[in-house]
Amino acid sequence: MALLPEQFSQLESLAETWALPTELQRSERRWAAGPDDYRRFYEAMLPALDQVLDYLDRYEPGNIPEPALPLYRLALAFAEAAPHNELYDCSNTVPNSFDARRFVAAHGEITDR
Amino acid sequence: MAAPAEQLKQAMPYTTRYPELGTGPLDVRPLIDPELFELERERIFKQAWLYVARAEELAEPGDYKLRRLDVANTSVIIVRDRNGEVHAFHNICTHRGNKLIPEQEAQSLGHTATHTLTCRFHAWTFNTDGTLRGVARQESFAGLDKSCLGLNRIHCAEWEGFIFINLAEQPRQSLVEYLDGVADHYAGYPYNEATLRFRYSTVLNCNWKVSLYAFSEGYHVPTIHQGTFPSLATLEHTEFRCFGPHSTSGLYVPPVPGLEPTPVTANLGGRLRASNRHRPHLELLPENINPDNRQDFQFEFSVFFPNSVIHLCAGNGYPGMAIFHHQFWPIAVDKTLWEGTNYFRPPETVSERIAIAHTNALHRNAWLEDTSTMEQTYQALSSGVLDEMVLMDEELMIRNTHKHWHDYMGI
């Protein structure tokens, strides 16, 4: 069964690997991504971003129904990954930075799905 | 050789306003000496007021926060009792000293629906006001006086929803006296509305002041943050004021000529800027912050002695960000728990939530840039090669902290 609503079928293969439920899982995905991963993600998502956000805005934060969660998580992953395209030349690390794996997202999971 | 007074005043207009701070280099020894670290435990961290919780973390009666304080070899329970009053206690059962609440992390939140806390060892039960409520098989203790066996209380006070504790038996000053002019300077912003928190932490292999000092100046921004925030290259760090051991300053960022926001940041940040809830709210700033009502206000930036740095943004600067702060918790002379927290007003729409994730991710990335220097700095300083460090004018808040560190330490 498809993860995303039909009108976003072009993003389906991205959702399979990027639409992860926790910030840590999405971070691990970012750290594992190569330049081509970042390029594919960005080139597919940027033109669809407004439509994705418009679609998600039919729901309230904290009350997104199960079937729409993969799209929401894909959008979160994109919000977190885009700086790698826009600022870090598609590197999977922030240049000249501390080891991101030692940085703990101590807020845990924000539960407002 | 000392510079002539006029030249000093021209180079260091802020620093020279505070003659007691001097203009010379600072001694490095306080950042690397293990014996001084042992003294800091007593003379600073058991004397000063320490910020430990936001009131919203303890919104309801029965809510509590557990905060480990390695520097004082203790952990602290901050709890809201059934009448709404906040108390702080050492996390130790008064029977045989077990930790009343088992501790897994440096800080954690919990709730007791029964307004009691029960030790897992022998089931002694305490009310959230600290009184000892129940002792299993009490008849087998000879003459047990429960009224003397309440939890060990720690002084606790709240200012603008920031909850502080003081580990001294009798604090030298009330919290408001302690905060000096910074209390008024920051008063009145609706901090309580920024309830969406993102906290990052790491243990840095450096002295806590290496980390604190790195986060106490803006001089590093054009170099360290050229990766994540090239837009900050033009920053002006100004309006420095010292209030006793605390200090504050304003940070402004005129537009960088020719630099446009990147597409995703323009889209997501733009959504927050266009939202009444998340847009820049200059009008909410306390009156002495951004006094000229500049549109390029980024944030007010303050050191709350000894170990907190608080930034008030009010939606200016980083899109949607209301406040953020850093805390530096000493573990050993060469080990520090750093915690950075970003605060936003809660989103009204899902797209706002996603846009907030973008602002938060950029800021987290900038912190990865900040923390990249600290262990290297500490290693290099601990070589003993440098006895002193020289400061420029806008490193004034470091100078103020360092001076008051000496005063607290009596050395």
Task: Determine contact: B152 vs chain A, CB below 8 A.
Answer: no
Q: Quick check: B265 contacting A, CB < 8 Å?
A: yes
> Is A106 in Cβ contact with B350 (below 8 Å)?
no
Same domain, B378 and B276: yes
- The answer to whether the CB of A92 falls within 8 A of the CB of A84 is yes
- CB interface of B with A, residues 203-242, below 8 Å: 203, 224, 227-228, 230
Helix, strand or coil for residue B82?
A: coil
ipTM at complex level: 0.98
Q: Pick from B197, B221, B338, B353 the residue to mutate for testing the A interface (most A CBs within 10 Å).
A: B353
Residue B47 near chain A (CB below 8 Å): no
- What pLDDT is stored for residue B2 in this prediction? 62
Decide if B84 is inside a domain: yes
Q: Are residues B157 and B227 in the same domain?
A: no
- Asked if residues B261 and B410 have their Cβ atoms less than 8 Å apart, the reply is no
Q: Is B327 on the interface with A (CB under 8 A)?
A: no
One domain for residues B58 and B88 = yes
B359 and B260 within one domain: yes
Angle at B393 between CA B389 and CA B399, to 5 degrees: 50
- Are B161 and B193 found together in one domain? no
Domain match, B132 and B195 both: no
Name the band, by pLDDT with cuts 50, 70 and 90, for residue B110. very high
pLDDT at B160 over 70: yes
Joined together, the tokens standing for residue B193 give 């509305």
Residue B321 and residue B205 in one domain: yes
Average pLDDT over residues B176-199: 97
The residue assigned the tokens 């039960």 is B125
A1/chain B closest Cα distance in angstroms? 24
CB A15 within 8 A of CB B313: no
Q: How far apart are CA A63 and CA B228, in angstroms?
A: 32
Same domain, B160 and B193: no
Q: Is the dihedral angle over the CA atoms B51, B56, B59, B63 positive or is it negative?
A: negative
Nearest to A46 among B198, B263, B349 (CB): B263
State the pLDDT at residue B51.
98
Calculate what percentage of chain B has a pLDDT beyond 90.
98
Q: Cβ contacts (< 8 Å) between A46 and chain B: which residues?
A: 263-264
CA distance A30 to chain B (A): 12
Q: How far is B43 from chain A (nearest CA, A)?
A: 30
Could you give the CA distance from residue B60 to residue B53 in angstroms, rounded to a whole number? 14
| Residues on chain A bordering chain B, Cβ-to-Cβ distance under 8 angstroms | 46, 49-50, 53-54, 56-57, 59-61, 64, 72, 75-76, 78-80, 82-83, 85-88, 94-98, 100, 102-107, 110, 112
Instruction: Read off the tokens for A38.
Output: 């970042």
Within-domain flag for B11? no
In chain A, where are the structural domains located? 10-96
Domain count, chain B: 2
pLDDT digits (tens, 9 = 90+) for A6-54: 999 999 999 999 999 999 999 999 999 999 999 999 999 999 999 999 9
Residue with token string 């925030």? B229
Domain enclosing residue B103, as ranges: 50-170
Cβ atoms of B368 and A94 within 8 Å: the answer is yes
Contact residues on chain A for B220, CB-CB shorter than 8 A: none
What pLDDT is recorded for position B301?
96
pLDDT in tens, B214-233: 999 999 999 999 999 999 99
Condensed to tens digits (0 to 9), the pLDDT of residues B30-80 reads: 999 999 999 999 999 999 999 999 999 999 999 999 999 999 999 999 999
Q: Say if residue B164 is in the same domain as residue B209.
A: no
Judge contact between B42 and B158, C-beta under 8 A. no
**In a domain? residue B179:** no
Which of the four pLDDT bands, split at 50, 70 and 90, describes residue B372? very high
Look at residue A82 in the predicted model and tell me its pLDDT: 98
In whole angstroms, what is the distance from residue B297 CA to residue B289 CA? Answer: 9
Is the separation of the CB atoms in B317 and B297 below 8 Å? yes
The nearest alpha carbon in chain A to B231 belongs to: A87
Residue for token pair 């440096």:
B106
Helix segments in B193-237, DSSP class H: 208-214, 221-224
Instruction: Considering only the beta carbons, identify the residue of B199, B265, B354 that sits closest to A75.
Output: B354
Q: Does residue A111 surpass a pLDDT of 90?
A: no
Q: Is the pLDDT of residue B122 over 70?
A: yes
Contact B347 A61 (CB under 8 A): yes
Domain's final residue, options B111, B135, B170: B170
As a whole-number percent, the residues of chain B with pLDDT over 70 amount to: 100
Residues in chain A closer than 8 A to B357 (CB atoms): 76, 79-80
Task: Give mean pLDDT, residues B323-329.
Answer: 98
- pLDDT score at B1: 54
Residue B136's H or E segment, with its range, is none
Whether residue B2 is contained in a domain is answered as no
Mean per-residue pLDDT, B290-298? 97
- Provide the CATH number for the domain around residue B234: 3.90.380.10
Q: Check CB contact under 8 Å for A104 and B263.
A: no
- A-contacting residues of B 339-358, CB under 8 Å? 339, 341, 346-355, 357-358
Answer whether residue B311 is part of any domain: yes
Model pLDDT, residue A113: 54
- Which positions ≥6 away from B169 have C-beta within 8 Å? none
B252 - beta bridge partners? B236, B297
pLDDT value of residue B408: 98
Residue B34 lies in a domain: no
For residue B201, the chain A residues in CB contact (below 8 A) are: 103-104, 106
Residue A110 has pLDDT above 80, yes or no: no
Mean predicted confidence (pLDDT) in B401-408? 98
As a dihedral over the C-alpha atoms of residue B39, residue B41, residue B43, residue B46, rounded to 10 degrees, the angle is: -160
Counted across chains A and B, CB pairs separated by less than 8 A come out at 119
Give B311: exposed, middle or buried? Use CB within 10 Å, 0-12, 13-18, 19+: buried
Q: B residues 274-293 near A, CB within 8 Å?
A: none
Q: Which of B117, B137, B170 marks a domain boundary?
A: B170
pLDDT score for B181: 97
Q: How far apart are CA B96 and CA A57, in angstroms?
A: 55
Of B351, B358, B365, the CB nearest to A57: B351
CB atoms < 10 A from the CB of A58, how many?
10
Residue A107 is predicted with a pLDDT of 86
Give the model's confidence band at A1: pLDDT under 50 very low, under 70 low, under 90 confident, else very high: confident
Report whether pLDDT(A112) > 90: no
| Overall average pLDDT of the B307-336 stretch | 98
pLDDT at res. B22: 96
Q: What is the predicted pLDDT for the residue at B180? A: 97
